[in-house]
Amino acid sequence: MVDMRAVKRNIQGLKKSELPIAREVLARGWYLLLPVVVLLYMLIALKATPMKAAIGAIIATIVASMPSKETCMTPKRICLALAQGASSSLEVISACAAAGIVVGTLSLTGLGLKLSGLIIGASGGQIWLTLVLAAIVCLVLGMGLPTTAAYIISASAIAPAIIKLGVPPLVAHLFTFYFSCMSAITPPVAVAAYAGAGIAKAAPSAVGWEAVKLGSVAFIVPFAFAYGPALLMLASPVEVIWATISAMIGVTALAASIEGVFMGAMPLASRCLLFLGSLLLIKPGLSTDLMGFGFVAALVLRRLFKHYARPVGKGLSQRC
């Protein structure tokens, strides 16, 4: 959607001559990747705890910085880095501590189980309505919290309600995780969007709603894999491949319909047709996929015919 927004507003990227050459960049600073390698090696190969792996990565960072004067971690820089790290961790520490209190309250009072029962009761056992209510609760519970804390709270209160309706545990937990993450860009407490607004010196509320628009696809995808676990590879290889291809086409079509750009600006009727086709493609199922392919293919053929039936001009048509 960001790329299509750039096309829509005719925003040009850097020229090829202005782009850094990857080979030269890696030749100069390949050793700076050492901390990442050490971190992954300790976590995966040595099965070290996250704390030990982090300490190893910090030591590797200091060692990797030494070959260059620009990056060398002098004692003064190390002290400043430690101070900044401690200062930056305060928000996460306080949020996780608060999340621990909330999780403890939910478990000790039984509110988590009651909340699951309330969601199932309000939805009448309908899985689609249960998912909608669960998504809303996850967005509310995750407001203002970091991802880990938001997921812990949502998973303890919401995931059991989804699992009770026959949804696989992996799907239920990833569903709650998705919407816990999306709370960071969902007003009225869109922490990530407001942070971006501060950097851009823009109105926080406007940036928050723009973030919802740009992230609209992510609000639909969790429902897709809740109805079709093949997107999470919980099916045969053929089903997984088919679901992945149809979902990718559907997501691209959805982005194009929202931004109104595909081989030039699209009229409202074409956008509605593409939007309907994208939803059918994202929803798992052979019948819906075929219908979605039909809608999208009809629009693509129509746009191609209009595009090549007249000379290509400047602006949107030329760029697309």
List pLDDT tens digits, range 48-93: 888 899 999 999 999 988 888 888 888 898 899 889 888 877 766 7
- Show the tokens assigned to 278: 């994208």
For the chain, strand residue ranges (E) read: none
pTM reported for the whole predicted model: 0.65
Contacts 24+ apart (CB under 8 A), 54-61: 60/34, 60/35, 61/34, 61/35
The 3-state DSSP class for residue 82 equals: helix
**Torsional class of 236: left (φ above 0), alpha (ψ -120 to 50), beta (otherwise):** beta
Q: Tell me the mean pLDDT in the region 149-175.
A: 84
Q: What is the pLDDT of residues 7-64, one digit of tens each?
A: 888 888 888 888 888 888 888 888 888 999 999 999 888 888 888 999 999 999 999 8
- Cβ neighbors of 12 (< 8 A, separation 6 or more) are none
Q: Which of 144, 139, 145, 126 is nearest to 175 (CA)?
A: 139
State residue 113's pLDDT score: 65
Q: Could you tell me which residues are beta bridge partners of residue 265?
A: 261
What is the spatial distance between Cα 106 and Cα 149, in angstroms, rounded to a whole number?
A: 14
Q: What is the torsion angle, in degrees rounded to the nearest 10, for the CA atoms of residue 230, residue 234, residue 240 and residue 243?
A: 10
What is the spatial distance between Cα 164 and Cα 167, in angstroms, rounded to a whole number?
A: 7
Q: Where are the domains of the chain?
A: 18-73, 93-215, 228-320
What is the spatial distance between Cα 296 and Cα 289, in angstroms, rounded to a whole number?
A: 10
State how far Cα 43 lies from the chain centre: 24
